[in-house]
Amino acid sequence: MGQQPNALRGIKVTQMILRTAFLLALVIGLGGMFGWLPFTPATVDLHIASGIIVAISMAALAASIGRSRRPGAAVLWIGVLLVVVGGFMGLYLHIAGNALGLAHLALMLVAMGLAEMGAARAKKSA
C-alpha cells in the first residue's frame, strides 16, 4: 500500500465500496427471488439503497480512472448506464418473480463484470 500513487489507492478503496454494496444488493435480491429472504418494505429499501451506492461508486470509479488518464473508464461508464437502466426497471415495472426480474439481475451482473474489467485494466496500467 505504501508505495502506491494516491490515485491507485483511491481506485482500490472505491472498488471495495462498490464490491461490498453489490454483494449486499445481490444477496437481498436473490433472497427475494428464491424466497429465503422474502421481500419486505425494509429489505426492498435496503436493496434499493445499496443498488444506488453501486451506481454512485461505479461512477466515482469511472471518473477517477478517467481523470488519472488510465484506460478502462469507458467500459465502467457503460456499466453505470446498465445499473441506472436496470434500477429504473426495478423501480417502475413489476419485476418480482417474472422475466423482467431476471433481466434486472442479468443487467446488474453484466454491469459489475464490466466494472471489474475496467478497474483491472486501469490497475494493470499503473
70 vs 104 by CB, closer to ligand HEM: 104
The C-alpha cell 419486505 sits at 40
- CB 33 to ligand HEM: min, Å: 4
C-alpha cell at 66: 478517467
Distance CA 117, CA 40 (A): 34
- CB 5 to ligand HEM: min, Å: 29
Opening angle at CA 18, ends 8 and 73, nearest 5 = 55
Residue numbers at the binding site for ligand HEM (CB under 6 A):
22, 25-26, 29-30, 32-33, 39, 44, 47-48, 51-52, 54-55, 83, 87, 90-91, 95-97, 101, 104-105, 108
| 62-75: burial string, b at 16+ Cβ within 10 Å, e else | bebbbebebebbeb
- CB 20 to ligand HEM: min, Å: 11
Strand ranges (E), the chain: none
59 vs 83 by CB, closer to ligand HEM: 83
- CB 66 to ligand HEM: min, Å: 21
Measured from each CB, the residue nearest to ligand HEM is 101
The C-alpha cell 461505479 sits at 58
